[in-house]
Amino acid sequence: MYLAVFVGTLHTMGAAVQQSGADTDEEKSSGAPAITANPGHVTVAGGAGSTEISWDTGNGSMGFVFVTTSEGKPALFATGAKGSRVAPWIRPGTYAFELYGDDQRRTLLAALTVSGTTESEASPRTTLLRGKARWLLIVALMVVVYIAFYLSSAGTLRTTFPTEPTTSPRPLHVGRNLLMGIAAFVCLDGVIFHTGLYVSILAPDSYAGRLAVITRAEKQRPASGLKEVLVLGDSRMAEGFSATVADELGSAAGFKFVTLAEPASTANTWYYMLREVDATAQRYWAIVVPYGIGYEPTSAESLRISMAAPLLRYGDCFTFASAFQQWSGRFRAVTACILRGSAYQSDVAHFLEHPIARIENVQRESAMVHARAVYKGRDYDMVGTSYDATTGQMTFPPRLTEAQREAIRKSLLQPSQSEMQYSLRLQRDWIPRILNRYSKSATAIVLTPVPRGPFAELPAFSVGQRAPFLEVTKQRTVFSLPEQTFDFLERPDYYFDAFHLNAKGRQRFTERLVNDLMARLAAADSHASYP
């Protein structure tokens, strides 16, 4: 639905569900130690780049974060049981951030690696790995396979140069052998990328990696025996909905809430996620699907393709490609369904550059899933922030850090009318597909609006949120919450930027959504029992 406000905001918000350092409401937290970086791969421009390091010891004890460069000695970076701090001095190279339980570095709790590359430095190597290497590999495989088929055929060949006889006793079958080479390459791509072989080592902090991790975890999760409700969505729902709070509210009525809301995901991605985790369309009691005005920049097409890649199949090529506006995006989408490796170019390039760091990150998948589950939201708000839509000038309260201010500035970049219309088109095309998938199922589909934001004067907020699926809400198993349900949340004290709810807003949004949802489902059950 909402991709994130724009591509830069995606990178800012993308790691939000992994950040466990925002738990400031309790003196102690119970969970696994964790340390995250946002972003983990820094593009250095103007001499230095920055990343935000967040950490949590998991039990309230004092923690010590050390940083080590590839050529330096460990240096103390930050202390505290949990928190976050910006490192604005990232230069080309690798930085190891380690969370210890003591200042002598004897007890290692968690660690991660941040890499910095300049555009000029990364361009030749990365371009080769991402673009040229793929085509060179195709050509090389065709040549090797062709020679193999030719030399293995019957007939006498000369052993001296040239190996081909002057008069060949058989046709060369060039076209046939080339087609066999292409088929062999497609098969090789299928073995590596269409199975779980490469998916298992996807970077867990990438968009594709996170989607693969959370869908795999949900698919493997045993049934609770309760009325399970699945919540979908993008970064607004990932920041706005808390499964922990929802379980506290719904446990007495026998409800269990699960969230697969993920930053940058869209309605077509949700469809494939449901197909992956609910193959029979009978697993959940209800599924919550958000709708409303969003922003889908065409510049993020490659990101959306790579993100959905772990869930795609060969037969999805034309249906998946139809979700893209430009022909270039459609071509890449078709290619990603057939040659899955093309969607993982960035990930493969990074794996080849930093294989050891990748293996270490993959081993921390369980910590990422846990951090996502205990995440409570951002603990600051926008009270005191003013924005002049005419001049674009903003004023901030002194308590906001520079990183927080920059995130707010980026979130206020306004989408074009065509980009907002494209977002609505994605919803009109793909949410009905979800509804049709469950048309013969007892699973209830709940369509819900999402609070728009704290600045009502902006064009993106002033547009009404009209559900384009009113005709299907007449079905017994499809419900739509009123468009004004969450208007009371559209205030600065409930947001940490122009689009995303903070911890306080997260609590209020979850409470209202769960209460309204349970009331609707109870009424539907009562109506079904007494026709």
339: amino acid identity, one letter? L
Contact yes or no for 266/1 (Cβ under 8 A) = yes
CA distances from 456 to 275, 376, 453 (A): 37, 26, 7
Q: Is the pLDDT reported for residue 167 higher than 70?
A: no
Phi, psi of 466 (to 5 degrees): -100, 125
pLDDT at 17: 34
pLDDT at 153 over 50: yes
The token pair that represents 73 in the structure block = 């000695």
> Is the CB of residue 361 less than 8 Å from the CB of residue 113?
yes
450 pLDDT higher than 80? yes
DSSP characters over 369-415? HHHHHH--------TT-EE-TTT--EE--TTS-HHHHHHHHHHTPPP
Residue 176's pLDDT is what? 72
pLDDT at 180 over 70: yes
Determine the pLDDT at residue 74. 81
Q: Which residues contact 190 (CB under 8 A, 6 or more apart)?
A: 340
As a whole number of angstroms, the distance between CA 293 and CA 421 comes to 8
Q: Check residue 18 and give its pLDDT.
A: 36
Q: Note the pLDDT tens digit of each residue in 249-272.
A: 999 999 999 999 998 899 999 999
Residue 13: per-residue pLDDT:
37
Contacts of 123 (CB under 8 A, 6+ apart): none
Residue 42 and residue 114 in contact, taking contact as beta carbons nearer than 8 Å: yes
3-state SS track over 170-202: CCCCHHHHHHHHHHHHHHHHHHHHHCHHHHCCC
pLDDT tens figures, 324-376 = 888 888 998 999 899 888 888 888 888 888 888 888 888 888 877 888 888 88
pLDDT at 443: 93
- On whether the CB atoms of residues 83 and 29 are closer than 8 A, the answer is no
Element (H, E) at 217: helix 207-220
pLDDT, residue 140, reads 67
Region 442-466: what's the mean pLDDT?
74
Residues 6+ apart with CB under 8 A from 471: none
Distance between CA 336 and CA 195 in Å, rounded? 14
Distant-in-sequence, close-in-space partners of 177: CB < 8 Å, separation ≥ 6: 145, 146, 149, 150
The interaxial angle of helices 417-437 and 267-277, nearest 10 deg, is 20
**Mean pLDDT confidence for 121-129:** 48
What is the tens place of the pLDDT at every residue in 56-99?
A: 888 888 889 998 876 667 888 888 888 888 887 887 778 888 89
Position 49 scores a pLDDT of: 76
- Could you tell me the maximum CA-CA distance found in the chain, to the nearest angstrom? 90
- The helices-and-strands tally (H runs, E runs) of the chain is 19, 15
Res 404: pLDDT:
81
Average pLDDT (466-490) is 73
Q: Which CATH class is domain 7-121?
A: mainly beta
Q: What is the DSSP string of 130-185?
A: IIIHHHHHHHHHHHHHHHHHHHHSSS---SSSS-S-SS-SS---HHHHHHHHHHHH
**Residue 438 pLDDT:** 93
pLDDT at 403: 76
- Residue 83: its pLDDT value, please? 85
434: exposed, middle or buried (C-beta count within 10 Å: 0-12, 13-18, 19+)?
A: buried
Strand partners, 90: 49
According to the model, what pLDDT value does residue 391 have? 74
Residue range 418-432: average pLDDT? 84
At residue 430's C-alpha, the angle toward residues 428 and 432, to 5°, is 75
Is the bond preceding 39 in cis, omega lying within 30 degrees of 0?
yes
Q: Report the alpha-carbon distance of residue 88 to residue 406 in Å, rounded.
A: 13
- Token pair belonging to 264: 């940058």
In 241-344, which residue ranges form alpha helices assigned H by DSSP? Answer: 243-250, 267-277, 301-308, 317-321, 327-338
Q: What integer pLDDT is reported at residue 515 of this predicted model?
A: 95
Pick the more confident residue, 20 or 100.
Answer: 100
The pLDDT assigned to 133 comes to 53
Q: Are 241 and 489 in contact (CB under 8 A)?
A: no
**Among the ranges given (174-178, 193-197, 391-395, 440-444), the one the predictor scored with the smallest mean pLDDT:** 174-178
User: Are 263 and 16 spatial neighbours (Cβ–Cβ below 8 Å)?
Assistant: yes
| Share of residues in the chain with pLDDT > 70 (%) | 74
Q: Domain-by-domain residue ranges, the chain?
A: 7-121
| Interatomic CA distance for residues 183 and 145, integer angstroms | 10
Per the listing, tokens 């899933």 go with: 369
Position 222 pLDDT exceeds 60: yes
Mean pLDDT, all residues of the chain: 78
Q: Which two tokens stand for residue 282?
A: 């009978």
Residue 19: what pLDDT?
38
Question: Quick one: which of 432, 438, 427 has its CA closest to 285?
Answer: 438
Chain segment 262-310, per-residue pLDDT in tens: 988 999 999 999 999 999 999 999 999 998 866 666 667 888 898 999 9
pLDDT bucket at 525, cuts 50 / 70 / 90: low
The pLDDT tens digits for 131-146 are: 555 566 666 666 666 6
Cα–Cα distance for residue pair 49/51, rounded to 1 Å: 7
| Model pLDDT, residue 14 | 38
Q: What region, left, alpha or beta, does residue 264 occupy, with left being phi > 0 and alpha being psi -120 to 50 degrees?
A: left
pLDDT at 30: 44
* Tokens linked to 489: 């949340």
pLDDT reported for residue 27? 36
